[in-house]
Amino acid sequence: MKRTFTRLAALATVGLAVALSPAAYGQGNSTPPRPQRIVIVNIAKVLRDYKKANFKGAEITKKREVYVKQVQALQDQVTAINADYVKATNPDVKKQLEEKARGLQRQIEDIDRQAKRELTQLSNDTIVQVYQEIKGVIFDIAKTNNLDMVLCYPAATKPEDENSPQVAQLMLQTPALIPFYHSGMDITKVVVDTLNARYPSPDPPAVTPASGTGGTPAPVPGGGN
């Protein structure tokens, strides 16, 4: 086992030497390349503060509520018919009530199918649109600020959520970048501000408006060109 560790250490040393040798930068060029610039984005906070995404989500919720109310009204009628059926003694009346109840049930099933089809399509379209907008903004911010890599991670969206069991489980189990510590690398606010400025939207219900900085990518603190 000790021999194995020794070999791995030797390989690591050789790799480091190659990476730092002048030959790695080009023949006769001893100037090392500039340090790579890597930043991170809290994608959960972006989604929480991106007003257009929240507005679209609220629209989907409203559409769902319309269907729920339609179904509830029909279910109330079915409940009333069932009560009348229990009280009825005339076979013909019972048969009529049964047929009416079956008709209402078919209407409920039709509405349910229509709701699922429409809401699923609307949700899928919204998810793709929001993803493409966030991806595009991050790309432009990276190009504008001469960044080499932008990594996204899910985490608490508010300081008071840091100690919640849900966030703790997310941070410990998510198989992605989880920065337990960083120094000046987080550009989440820049992404949110640029999104809200580039894709303006009415404020979603019960969401605090986020400030915008213009249609072009907001500068990253300390960013280069």
3-class SS of residue 153: strand
Residues with Cβ within 8 Å of residue 105, at least 6 apart in sequence: 78
Is residue 225, in this structure, part of any structural domain at all? Answer: no
Residue 159 has a pLDDT of 81
Is residue 4, in this structure, part of any structural domain at all? Answer: no
Please choose, from the candidates 46, 52, 48, the residue with its C-alpha nearest in 3D space to the C-alpha of residue 189: 46
Is residue 95, in this structure, part of any structural domain at all? Answer: yes
Its domain, for residue 66, covers: 37-198
Residue 26 has a pLDDT of 46
Please choose, from the candidates 41, 36, 44, 37, the residue with its C-alpha nearest in 3D space to the C-alpha of residue 137: 41
Is residue 80, in this structure, part of any structural domain at all? Answer: yes
Give how many domains the chain has, as a whole number. 1
3-class SS of residue 9: helix
pTM, full prediction: 0.65
Residue 62 has a pLDDT of 94
Q: Give the DSSP letter of residue 186.
A: B
Is residue 224, in this structure, part of any structural domain at all? Answer: no
Residues with Cβ within 8 Å of residue 30, at least 6 apart in sequence: 22
Consecutive 10-residue runs of the chain (225 residues): their mean pLDDT? 35 31 45 76 90 94 95 96 92 93 96 96 95 92 88 82 82 66 75 91 64 49 45
CB-based contact 188:42 (threshold 8 Å): yes
Of all helices (H) and strands (E), which one includes residue 4? Answer: helix 2-20
Structure tokens at 221: 């603190």
